[in-house]
Structure 1
Amino acid sequence: MTAIAWLIVAVEIGFWVFIVSGLAVRYILGKKRAGFWLLAMTPVLDLILLIATTHDLMNGATASQAHGIAAIYLGVSLAYGRRMIRWADERFRYYILKKGPKPAKMHGFAHARESLKGSLLHAAAWILGGGYLAAMIALVGNPGRTEALEQILKVWTLVAALDLAISLSYFIWPRKPKKDVPS
């Protein structure tokens, strides 16, 4: 694995370490301000990855899939960050602290609407990460060195479009609630 690939792994691990420790400090130790600062460190990890990836490409590296995945990670982290923290917070309170409501399973129009919100966040992630990919392709200015970035952008465009199509399909064919299975 390349240094950028290892950095992506480290940033992803760091992201969840900051999330879990931030929630633990907030709820178990009762230190809301310290918990907030731990949670607020997650964008710092994104910045480190952005700087390292840009530095690597600008200093002559040939773009690899790891560079493209770094762009996807950055876009997803920025677009979904608050939602992921809220998701983790809700589950931490319910499953670890045994407080708060059980995370709801959605169906029908509510599920379709929530799925569409997720697809719109995916579109935002695509704009952010895809914009970064396009900027790196333009800045490097050498198609031979940025072919991997172009391929990743094409695949990601297809995935984002499929995600949106699936979300829209839930308005036509809504998810039905699961029936309770007798014991």
Structure 2
Amino acid sequence: MIVTLVVLCEVGFWVLLAAGLALRYLARMPRTGAAVLLMEPLLEVVLLVVTVLDLRNGAQADWKHGLAAVYIGFTVAYGHYLIRWADGQFAYRFAGGPKPPGPGYDRARAVYEWKLWLRTVVAAAVAAGLLQAAIQYVGDGDTASLRMWQTGVARAVAIHGLIALTYTIWPKKQKQPKQPKQPENGEREPERYGSGDGAGDRPRTLTKP
């Protein structure tokens, strides 16, 4: 049941996001679209309540409850970011809005990656907190799977931090446009046939001299 609810929450997130943006830009109903987007956090509240009730009714804590905690942590940290990203892309493609800026290069790209890492830290902190609350609630029961999820989110923070560090050590450079090839030894490039008006030009067509 918990896994099904997690899947439904993920599908519901994107359905509400698409519906809210369509109402905002295509149907020209910004207030209605904003109201639909504000319904996004309700999905996580429903998931949290159902997970707590499942544990209270005697269900043994396992990986499914850990998955719910991690999903809630991810949406808390990245939910607003994803909505803002999708809003910019939708406005640009369907409403004539400005093209959203990219992550950039050099130092700007490194800063961008570290900001994403901070979101991962927040997601891991929320997930770990919920998992710890579940562990304390279960008490003497089997909580090995919940602790495994705690280790997993800590590992995710470390891996993401290493990825962000690579952009600091080896900054991403912007590709330079290719320069036209210059003739060697100062020689002029031969003129293309039909490019001038002189008598020595080749005919431009097969029928006209």
Q: 2-side partners of 1:81 and 1:159: how far apart? A: 18
Q: 1-side partners of 2:121 and 2:54: how far apart? A: 27
Q: 1-side partners of 2:36 and 2:22: how far apart? A: 10
Residue of structure 2 in register with 1:49 after alignment: 47
Q: 1-side partners of 2:46 and 2:160: how far apart? A: 29
**Which residue identity lines up with residue 84 of structure 1 in the other structure?**
L
C-alpha displacement at 1:62, in angstroms? 1.7
RMSD: 1.8
Counterpart secondary structure, 1:175: coil
Show the 5 A alignment for 1:131-170. 131-144=129-142, 146-170=143-167
- Larger CA deviation: 98-107 vs 46-55: 98-107
Q: 1-side partners of 2:151 and 2:141: how far apart? A: 15
Is 1:171 matched up with 2:168? yes
Residue of structure 1 in register with 2:60 after alignment: 62
- Larger CA deviation: 54-63 vs 80-89: 54-63
Q: 2-side partners of 1:69 and 1:180: how far apart? A: 46
C-alpha displacement at 1:147, in angstroms? 1.5
C-alpha displacement at 1:45, in angstroms? 0.3
1:4 to 2, 5, 24: 2
Q: Which runs of 5+ in 1 are unaligned?
A: none
Show the 5 A alignment for 1:4-153. 4-144=2-142, 146-153=143-150
**Which residue identity lines up with residue 151 of structure 1 in the other structure?**
M
For 1:129-165, what per-residue CA distance to the aligned partner results, in whole angstroms no more than 9, with x for missing partners? 1100011001111341x21111011011111111112
Flag the 1:181–1:31 CA change in 2: closer, same or farther, 3 A: farther
Q: 1-side partners of 2:21 and 2:174: how far apart? A: 31
Flag the 1:59–1:35 CA change in 2: closer, same or farther, 3 A: same
Alpha carbons 1:24, 1:35 under 8 Å: kept: yes
After TM superposition, the score normalised by the length of structure 2 is 0.80
For 1:58-87, what per-residue CA distance to the aligned partner results, in whole angstroms no more than 9, with x for missing partners? 222122322111111101111111111011
C-alpha displacement at 1:29, in angstroms? 1.2
Q: Which runs of 5+ in 2 are unaligned?
A: 180-209
Q: 1-side partners of 2:63 and 2:176: how far apart? A: 43
After TM superposition, the score normalised by the length of structure 1 is 0.90
**Which residue identity lines up with residue 156 of structure 2 in the other structure?**
V
Task: Name whichever structure is richer in helix by fraction.
Answer: 1
Q: 1-side partners of 2:20 and 2:45: how far apart? A: 19
Counterpart secondary structure, 1:30: coil
